[in-house]
Amino acid sequence: MANRVTSNMTSSPIPRVVIVGAGFGGLNAAQALAKSPVHITVVDRANYHTFQPLLYQVATAGLSPGEIAAPIRSILRSDKNVQVLMAEVAGFDLDRRLVKTSEADIPYDYLIVAAGAGHSYFGHDDWEPYAPGLKTIEDALEIRRRVLLAFELAERQASTGETAAQLNFVVVGGGPTGVELAGTLAEISHHALTHEFRSIDPARTHILLIEGGPRVLPAYAEDLSRSAQEQLNRLGVEVRTSAIVTQIEPGAVYTGDTRLPATVILWAAGVAASPLGKNLGTPIDRAGRVLVEPDLSLPGHAEVFVIGDLAALKDEKGKMLPGVAPVAIQQGRFVAKLIRHELESNNKAAVAPPFSRPSREEPALSERSEPKGGDFDSHSRPTFHYWDKGSLATIGRAAAVAEFGRIHISGFIAWLSWLFVHILFLIGFRNRLLVFIQWAWSYVTYERGARLITGSTYLPGWTADQHPDPAQPDAVHPL
């Protein structure tokens, strides 16, 4: 038996729903709620939604940022009850039902927090400047800059008659992001750039993927991990498993006492939930994810939901739901539906909108601490169930793995499925068309059209002997 709380709504005649974050979770919640009689405010620090599964394509110069991101405002333009605010959310006042931004406090009746996740360097944040991770468009552009700059610096050095420096690209972390980055870096080095340099041979670039566990893609079945490693090897990637990175410094990665020279280091090893999770003041797990109730609400606050990468929830078998887009999307839609139903049933009952929560083995909410301003009755809320349609991981050109229950696919067919799914889910018809054309073109020609180096010309670790001024090994390298 579940219970329901009848809450104090804001004084607004129309219930206010505030959504923090316009990623997969937040955006889907907003779209699913948009036809309901509520006022929705979507708050995001960026003015665009990023299609993160294709970030590695921006990082490796296959696509431009505009092809994988779209303005939030334009995505939601036809939803007249949705207001988009570009603002950094700093915290919450759950008692007074306010979202705190640097500019203003935003009142809500329902709050959906979908602020996603960032990188974790496992207590070594000092590694970040030498080993950027891939989470945002800015990260992708920084990785692209470093990768392309490495080739330019090596070419410049070799053009003066010096021996060309060996280019070593090291990717730390053999999950889906590390695997796709390593595979695509191999593709660029060994194919896309081979005819464009005169003094260096980009095909000599050494790509190393380091994984701390015994196999790459640990979340996939063992046969697919094996296949992924074989496909990586075929693309020219060296894979080292059971190798724990112990130190990162400019130009080098250490596994134990072994120093591995690294021209470019990329971090794909750890994920940490948004710090906003901690601000909600309820228990979080080791990755900073909020331990939510089965209806995705915050313990003690039935009017607050946490979804997507920021939420920690186990499935029926006790397995933690993965931090993937379909989970965030389904959770966003689930919460939207739940809110809509509650408001509708509330309208029918012509009482103040009730908030309810599902049953759990622990004491009913009404028996525990009562949230501020709440009264309780005994309606029930549904429980979130994730519909797992399968997992796909791309590795590189015509290389991927796919797991649909007991059906395991590798290679070209898996890659085609990956391509199809990702183009289908990309936001905006224009982007879908552009990406499809780009991919078809680069598949035939091996070309990577977005090879622009923008911003600084500093490459951490371009070492003293490669540097024109040995006195300043870390100085900016003017091109």
> For residue 372, how many other CB atoms are within 10 A of its CB?
13
Closest C-alpha among 415, 114, 160, 446 to residue 273: 114
Closest C-alpha among 333, 277, 329 to residue 308: 329
Q: Kindly provide the residue ranges of all beta strands, DSSP E only, lying in 142-202, ordered along the sequence.
A: 168-172
Q: Which stretch binds ligand FAD (CB under 6 A): 17-25, 163-171, 286-294, 469-477?
A: 17-25
Q: Residue 162 contacts by C-beta under 8 Å, 6 or more apart in sequence?
A: none
Does 23 bind ligand FAD (CB under 6 A)? Our answer is: yes
Look at strands 237-240 and 206-210 and give their pairing: parallel
By beta carbon distance, the residue nearest ligand FAD is 23
**Closest approach of ligand FAD to the CB of residue 362, in Å:** 26
Among 328, 414, 427, 435, binds ligand FAD (CB under 6 A): 328
Does 243 bind ligand FAD (CB under 6 A)? Our answer is: no
Answer positive or negative: Cα dihedral of 269, 273, 274, 275: negative
Per the annotation, the verdict on 180 as an active-site residue is yes
Q: Kindly provide the residue ranges of all beta strands, DSSP E only, lying in 175-280, ordered along the sequence.
A: 206-210, 237-240, 245-249, 252-255, 258-261, 264-267, 271-273
Collapse the DSSP code of 332 into the 3-class scheme (helix H, G, I; strand E, B; otherwise coil) and give the result: helix
Among 114, 131, 312, 402, binds ligand FAD (CB under 6 A): 114
**Closest approach of ligand FAD to the CB of residue 477, in Å:** 28
* Bridge partners for 172 per DSSP: 210, 267
Dist. CA 230–CA 232, nearest whole Å: 5
Binding to ligand FAD (CB under 6 A) within 260-289 occurs at 274, 276
Residues 361 and 3: beta-carbon distance below 8 Å: no
Nearer to ligand FAD among residue 89 and residue 193 (C-beta)? 89
Nearer to ligand FAD among residue 155 and residue 315 (C-beta)? 315
Among 30, 94, 134, 188, binds ligand FAD (CB under 6 A): 134
Residues 208 and 169: beta-carbon distance below 8 Å: yes
Does 62 bind ligand FAD (CB under 6 A)? Our answer is: no
The single-letter code of the amino acid at 466 is Q
Q: Which stretch binds ligand FAD (CB under 6 A): 203-211, 288-296, 305-313, 439-447?
A: 305-313
Nearer to ligand FAD among residue 9 and residue 217 (C-beta)? 217
Tokens found for residue 65: 């940022």
Does 45 bind ligand FAD (CB under 6 A)? Our answer is: yes
Among 173, 183, 308, 374, binds ligand FAD (CB under 6 A): 308
Nearer to ligand FAD among residue 25 and residue 371 (C-beta)? 25
Task: Indicate which residues carry an active-site annotation.
Answer: 180
Residues of the shown chain interacting with ligand FAD in the complex, contacts defined by CB under 6 A = 20-26, 43-46, 52-53, 55-56, 88-89, 114-116, 134-135, 176-177, 274, 276, 308-310, 323-326, 328
